[in-house]
Structure 1
Amino acid sequence: MKTIGEVAAELGVEAHVLRHWEQVGALTVRRDGNGYRLYDDTAVEQARTVLKLRRVGLSLPEVVAAMAPKKSAAQAVVRAKIAALEDEIARRRQAITFLRHAVECRHRYLDECPDCSSFVSDA
């Protein structure tokens, strides 16, 4: 069994983050007779999973849904996040294409360039 401070240090987060995760339902932690949180191996692994999901971009409500007992509900959330990330990648690639063109553009001002103008209208 570990204390909240030990788990926070192990995961590299502040204790208040673990309390918040518990408050929103992303983490389940046992309490001792005095009300202190006690993290068993299952709770630590659950916290580690929450952290991983947060680091890949899921919001806390998405994390809670992704950790739902019903696998189909969890998969739906993860699939939606994958689609959102793929859309973001496509937008970033378009931005890179535009910026590469802007660097090489022969026009003094980008608004004089038909290619640059078409990029802005497509965005």
Structure 2
Amino acid sequence: MKTIGEAAAELGVEAHVLRHWEDVGALAVPRDGKGYRMYDDKAVEQARTVLKLRRVGLSLPEVTAAMAPKKSQAQAVVRAKIAELEAEVERRQQAIAFLQHTAECRHRYLDECSDCAAFVREA
């Protein structure tokens, strides 16, 4: 069993972060007889999962939903995040293509280049 401070140190987060995760329902932590949070192995592992989900881009409401008891609910949240990340990757790839073209473009001004103008017109 670990105190909140010990669990936070192990996870590399501040204790207030763990409290917040518990407050919003992303983390369930057992209490001792005096009401102190006691992080058993299950609670630490759950916090580690929350941390990983946060690091891959899920918001706390998404984390809470992704850790729902119903697998179908969790899968729906994760699939939606995958779609969002894939769309972001596509936008970034388009940005890189545009910037690479403009860096190599022989025209002095972007509006003089039909390729640059085509990039600009894209949604």
- CA deviation after TM superposition for structure 1 residue 96, in Å: 0.6
Query: Is 2:23 the partner of 1:48?
Result: no
Aligned to 1:29: 29
Q: Partners in 2 of 1:110 and 1:37 — Cα distance?
A: 60
- CA deviation after TM superposition for structure 1 residue 111, in Å: 2.2
TM-score by length of 2: 0.97
Q: Partners in 2 of 1:108 and 1:63 — Cα distance?
A: 48
Q: Partners in 2 of 1:109 and 1:12 — Cα distance?
A: 49
Unpaired segments ≥5 residues, structure 2:
none
Aligned to 2:12: 12
TM-score by length of 1: 0.97
Which runs of structure 2 are paired with 1:1-123 in the superposition (5 Å)? 1-123=1-123
Deviates more, 1:33-42 or 1:10-19: 33-42
Q: Partners in 2 of 1:92 and 1:100 — Cα distance?
A: 12
Q: Partners in 1 of 2:120 and 2:35 — Cα distance?
A: 57
Q: Partners in 2 of 1:11 and 1:91 — Cα distance?
A: 33
Query: What CA RMSD, in Å, does the superposition of the two structures yield over aligned residues?
Result: 0.8
- CA deviation after TM superposition for structure 1 residue 121, in Å: 1.2
Secondary structure of 1:31's aligned partner: coil
Q: Map Cα deviations across residues 23-68 of structure 1 (whole Å, 9 max, x no partner).
A: 0000001111222110011000000000000000000000000000
- CA deviation after TM superposition for structure 1 residue 73, in Å: 0.5
- CA deviation after TM superposition for structure 1 residue 112, in Å: 2.0
Q: Partners in 2 of 1:50 and 1:40 — Cα distance?
A: 15
Q: Partners in 1 of 2:109 and 2:100 — Cα distance?
A: 15
